[in-house]
Amino acid sequence: MTSYIDPDRDQFEAFKALDRDRPIEMLNLVKFRAKAQYPTAHELANAGLTGAQAYQNYGAETAPIIERIGASILWRGVFESTLIGPSDETWDAVFVARYPTAHAFLEMVTDPVYRAAVIHRQAAVETSRLIRCGSGEAGTAFG
Q: What is the CATH number of domain 18-134?
A: 3.30.70.100
For residue 142, name the pLDDT band (cuts at 50, 70, 90). Answer: confident
- Strand segments (E) across 53-124: 72-77, 93-99
At 43-89, the pLDDT tens digits run 999 999 999 999 999 999 999 999 999 999 999 999 999 999 999 99
CB 113 within 8 A of CB 65: yes
Question: Three-state secondary structure along 59-82?
Answer: HHHHHHHHHHHCCEEEEEECCCCC
**pLDDT (tens digit, 9 = 90+) per residue, 7-50?**
999 999 999 999 999 999 999 999 999 999 999 999 999 999 99
Torsion of CA 39, 96, 26, 8, to 10 degrees: 20
pLDDT value at residue 12? 93
